[in-house]
Chain A
Amino acid sequence: MTQKNTDNGQNNGDFLNLAPRILELLKGVNQVELENFSMNIGDLDLFIPSCSYAAREGSGAPAACPPPARARPATLVPETYAPNLTEYPGRIREVTLGATKVGGGSRGKTVTIGGATTPAYADRLRLPPHSPVIALDVFDMPVSLPSALKAHVAGVLDNPAEWAKMNVEKYGADVVTIHLMSTDPLLRDTPVSAAVRTVEDILQAVDVPLIIGGCGDPKKDSLVFSEVAQMARGERLVLNSVTLDMAEAKLLEGVATAAKENDHILLAFTGLELNSAKELNRRLYEFIPPEQIIMDLTTVALGYGLEYSFTIHERARYAALMGDTELAHPVISAATNAWAAREAWMKMAGKYGPRELRGPIWETLNAVTLLLAGVDLFLMMHPAAVFTVRDIIGQLEKPAGSAVPPAIDWTGVPL
Chain B
Amino acid sequence: MKSASGTTRKSIQKISPIDVYKLLPKTNCGECKEANCMAFATRLVNGELFLSGCPPLFTEKYARAREALEELMEPPVRAVTFGTGKNAVTIGGKYVLWRHEFTYHNPTAVAIDVHDQMTPDELVQRVGSIAQFTYNYIGRTLNVNAVAIRSVTKDPAAFAAAVRSVAGATDLPLILCTLDPAVMKAGLEKARDSRPLIYAANGDNWSAMADLALEAGAPLVVSAPGDPALLRSLVRTLLDCGVNDLVLDPGTFAGAGLPETISTFTDIRSQACRQFDELFGFPLLGLPLAVWTGDEISEDVLKWKEAVLASMLMSRYADILIMHSLDGWVLLPQLIWRFNLYTDPRKPVSVEAGVKPFGRPDKNSPVLVTTNYALTYFTVESDIKAANLDCYLIVADTGGLSVESAVAGRIFTAESIATALKDYSIAGLVDHTTLIIPGLAARLSGETEEATGWKILVGPKDSSGIPQFLREHWRTEH
Q: Is A68 an interface residue (CB 8 A)?
A: yes
A2-B236, A54-B244 are contacts. A123–B328 as well, Cβ < 8 Å?
no
A21 part of interface (Cβ distance < 8 Å): yes
B240 close to A307 (CB less than 8 A) = no
Within the assembled complex, what's the spacing in Å between the Cα atoms of A21 and B405?
58
Instruction: Tell me the chain B residues, 153-179 only, with Cβ under 8 Å from chain A.
Output: 154, 177-179
Give complex CA distance A177, B263 in Å: 32
Say whether A122 contacts B78, CB under 8 Å.
Answer: no
State the CA gap A383–B279 with chains docked (Å).
43
Q: Once bound together, how far apart are the Cα atoms of A79 and B75, in whole Å?
A: 23
Contact call B315/A353, Cβ cutoff below 8 A: no
Contact status of A369 and B315, CB under 8 A, knowing A62-B195, A410-B293: yes
Interface size class of B (residues with CB under 8 A): 35 or more
Chain B contacts for A27, CB-based, 8 A: 5, 67
**Contact, CB under 8 Å: B337 / A365:** yes
A293: chain B residues within 8 A (beta carbon): none
Interface-lining segment among B18-26, B248-256, B355-363: B248-256
| In the bound complex, CA of A410 to CA of B179 (Å) | 10
The distance in angstroms between the C-alpha atoms of A54 and B80, with both chains bound, is: 8
A302/B255 contact (C-beta < 8 A), A62-B81, A358-B329, A361-B304 known: no
Point out the residues of chain A lying under 8 angstroms from B464, CB to CB. 342, 346
Contact between B340 and A80 (Cβ–Cβ < 8 Å)? no
- B433 within 8 Å of A by Cβ? no
A44 close to chain B: CB less than 8 A: no
Query: A327-338: contact bitstring with B at CB < 8 Å (1 yes, 0 no)?
Result: 000000000000
User: Distance (Å) between the CB of B141 and the closest chain A CB?
Assistant: 14
| B275 adjacent to chain A (CB < 8 Å) | yes
- Whether, in the assembled complex, A170 has its beta carbon less than 8 Å from a beta carbon of chain B, the answer is no
Identify the closest chain A residue to B243 (Cβ). Answer: A67
Out of A73, A80, A272, A409, which one reaches B179, CB within 8 Å? Answer: A409
User: CB-CB < 8 A to A15: which residues of B?
Assistant: none
CA distance A261 to B215 in the complex (A): 75
Decide if A306 touches B260 in the complex (CB within 8 Å). no
Binds B, one of A90-98, A161-169, A252-260, A393-401: A393-401
Q: Does any Cβ of A come within 8 Å of B470's Cβ?
A: no
The reply to whether B333 and A80 form a contact with Cβ atoms under 8 Å apart is no
Q: How large is the interface on A (under 10, 10 to 19, 20 to 34, 35 or more residues)?
A: 35 or more
A403 on the B face (CB < 8 A) = yes
Select one of B2, B4, B293 contacting A413, CB under 8 A. Answer: B293
CB atoms of B52 and A57 under 8 A apart:
yes
**Per-residue CB proximity of B387-425 to A under 8 Å, as 1/0?**
000000000000001101100111000000000000000
Q: Is A83 an interface residue (CB 8 A)?
A: yes
Whether a CB of chain A sits under 8 angstroms from the CB of B62 is no
Nearest to A392 among chain B residues (CB) is B308
Indicate whether B220 reaches chain A with its CB closer than 8 angstroms: no
Contact A352 B332, beta carbon cutoff 8 Å: yes
Q: Are A121 and B337 in contact (CB under 8 A)?
A: no
User: In the complex the two chains form, what is the Cα distance from A79 to B231 in whole Å?
Assistant: 9
Interface positions, chain A 32-84, Cβ under 8 Å from B, are 49, 52-68, 72-73, 76-81, 83-84
- In the assembled complex, A289 has its CB within 8 A of some CB on chain B: no
Q: Which residue of A lies closest to B311 (CB)?
A: A365
CA distance A111 to B300 in the complex (A): 33
Query: A395 vs B259: C-alpha distance in the bound complex, in angstroms?
Result: 7
Residues of B within 8 A of A23 (CB): 5-6
| A68 partner residues in chain B, CB cutoff 8 A | 240, 242
Minimum C-beta distance from B204 to chain A (A): 10
Interface contact A76-B50, CB-CB below 8 Å: no
**A187 CB contact (under 8 Å) in B7, B257, B443:** B443
Cβ contacts under 8 Å, A54 to chain B: 74, 78-79, 244
Q: Which residue of A lies closest to B228 (CB)?
A: A81
Closest residue of chain B to A125, judged by CB?
A: B263
A368 at the interface (CB under 8 A from B): yes
CB pair A368–B274 under 8 Å, yes or no, is no
Q: Is A308 an interface residue (CB 8 A)?
A: yes
Q: From A144, which residue of chain B is reached at the shortest CB distance?
A: B461
- Is A191 at the interface (CB under 8 A from chain B)? no
Cβ of B365 within 8 Å of any chain A Cβ, yes or no, is no
**B32 CB–A CB distance under 8 Å:** no
Residue on A with the closest CB to B345? A311
> Of A59, A84, A243, A350, which contacts B52 at CB under 8 A?
A59
Question: Given A55-B79, A343-B333, do A28 and B2 touch, yes or no (CB 8 Å)?
Answer: no
Task: Specify which chain B residues have a CB less than 8 angstroms from the CB of A217 in the assembled complex.
Answer: 410
Q: Which residues of chain A in 257-273 are interfacial with respect to chain B, using CB atoms and an 8 Å cutoff?
A: 271-272
Q: Which of B7, B217, B332, B333: most chain A CB closer than 10 A?
A: B333
Q: How far is the CA of A53 from the CA of B78 in the complex (A)?
A: 10
Specify which chain B residues have a CB less than 8 angstroms from the CB of A4 in the assembled complex. 236, 240
| Contact (Cβ within 8 A) B150 A412 | yes
**With A and B bound together, what is the CA distance between A187 and B426 in angstroms?**
30
Given known pairs A395-B258, A396-B258, A408-B293, the reply for A122 and B263 (CB within 8 Å) is yes
Contact B259 A76 (CB under 8 A): no
The residue in chain A whose Cβ has the minimal distance to the Cβ of B7 is: A29
CB distance from A186 to the nearest CB of B (A): 5
A354 touches B206 (CB 8 A): no
A404 to B260, CA, bound (A): 8
| Listed residue (B64, B230, B259) with the most chain A CB atoms within 10 angstroms of its CB | B259
B324 interface residue per 8 A CB criterion = yes
The yes or no answer to B239 lying at the interface (CB within 8 A) is: yes
Q: Which residue from chain A places its CB closest to the CB of B267 in the assembled complex?
A: A83
- Give, as a whole number of angstroms, the nearest-CB distance from A50 to chain B: 11
Interface string of B282-300 (1 = CB under 8 A from A): 0000010110111000001
B474 on the A face (CB < 8 A): no
B329 and A352: CB pair below 8 A? Answer: yes
Q: How far is the CA of A217 from the CA of B51 in the complex (A)?
A: 53
Assess whether A405 is interfacial by the CB under 8 Å rule. Answer: yes
Interface status of B203 (Cβ within 8 A of chain A): yes
Q: A122 touching B70 by the CB < 8 A rule? A: no
- B340 contacts A303, C-beta separation under 8 Å: yes
Question: Are B4 and A53 in contact, with the CB atoms below 8 A?
Answer: yes
Q: Is the CB of B74 within 8 A of A53?
A: yes
- With a cutoff of 8 Å between Cβ atoms, the chain B residues found around residue A28 in the complex are 64
A352 to B307, CA, bound (A): 13
Interface residues in B295-318 by Cβ distance below 8 A to A read: 300, 304, 307-308, 311-312, 315-316
Pair B233/A79 contact, Cβ less than 8 Å: yes
B223 CB to nearest A CB, Å:
9
Nearest chain B residue, comparing its CB with the CB of A3: B240
* CB pair B236 A79 closer than 8 Å: yes
Q: Does A300 contact B (CB under 8 A)?
A: yes
Roughly how many angstroms separate A187 CA and B408 CA in the complex, as a whole number?
Answer: 12
When the two chains form their complex, are residues B462 and A372 in contact, meaning their CB atoms are under 8 A apart?
Answer: no
- Asked if B375 is at the interface of the complex by the 8 Å CB criterion, the answer is yes
Which stretch in B33-41, B98-106, B450-458 binds the other chain? Answer: B98-106
Contacting pair A307 B345 (CB below 8 A)? yes
The answer for the CA separation of A62 and B213 in the assembled complex, in Å, is: 14
Point out the residues of chain B lying under 8 angstroms from A343, CB to CB.
332-333, 336
Q: Chain A residue with minimal CB distance to B327?
A: A353
- Asked if B427 lies at the interface with its beta carbon under 8 angstroms from chain A, I say no
Query: Which residues of B are found within 8 Å of A59, using beta-carbon distances?
Result: 50, 52, 90
Whole-angstrom CA separation of A306 from B341 in the bound complex: 9
A342 near B462: Cβ-Cβ < 8 Å: yes
Please give me the residue from chain A that is nearest to B81 by CB atom: A62
Q: Check if B81 sits within 8 Å of A346, measured CB to CB.
A: no
**Per a CB cutoff under 8 Å, which of A62, A84, A245, A302 touches B275?**
A84
When distances are taken between beta carbons in the complex, the residues of chain A under 8 Å from B64 are: 28
Q: Add 19 more A-B contacts to A62-B219, A119-B266, A307-B343 (CB < 8 A).
A: A1-B6, A20-B2, A53-B4, A56-B70, A62-B245, A76-B233, A80-B232, A81-B229, A124-B263, A346-B462, A352-B135, A358-B328, A388-B308, A398-B256, A405-B253, A408-B293, A410-B290, A413-B150, A414-B115
A-B contact pairs, 11 of them (CB 8 A): A52-B70, A55-B81, A56-B74, A302-B337, A318-B98, A364-B308, A365-B337, A388-B308, A395-B256, A415-B292, A415-B324
